[in-house]
Amino acid sequence: MRTVRPEGPIIYVTDDPNLVISDFLGYALSLHKISGRPRAEELAERFSPEGSGMALPIFVAYRATEPDDIPPELNELSEYAKDDFDRMEIWVLTRLPPGQLSESAVVEGSELRHLLNEALAQTTGSN
């Protein structure tokens, strides 16, 4: 399972070479600034198995429910079969930089919440 390590304003994640998961954590931990809700409450609701994820102009995170939900740049992922979407909780994290190609990562739900909780615990007190 991946781990997080905050360094200044950036939250680094092991096994995240393109920093997609790192960027996700930064955006997700900032959602409370938009909603005005407590961070832990906001994250628990949005990223629960039934959660809505997040959609920002520069980043989206959503639960994949079928193979077509996996972005084209990740089509080489053969590890997920059609049946996996019924029994697994698969989340897609996609960075949408203006004028550049998008980059995505796939994370299973339990690991996603682990990373969110770890990042929240390590950054509590800093906004």
For the cut 90, the answer to whether the pLDDT of residue 87 exceeds it is no
Residue that wins the pLDDT comparison between 82 and 109: 109
pTM: 0.90
CB-based burial of residue 36 (10 Å sphere; 0-12 exposed, 13-18 middle, 19+ buried)?
exposed
What is the rounded average pLDDT of the residues 5-23? 95
User: Residue 30's pLDDT is what?
Assistant: 95
* Tens of pLDDT, residues 29-86: 999 999 999 999 999 999 999 999 999 999 999 999 888 888 877 766 546 666 777 7
Widest pairwise Cα distance in the chain: 42
At residue 69, φ and ψ (nearest 5 deg) are -75, -15
**Residue predicted with more confidence, 66 or 100:** 100
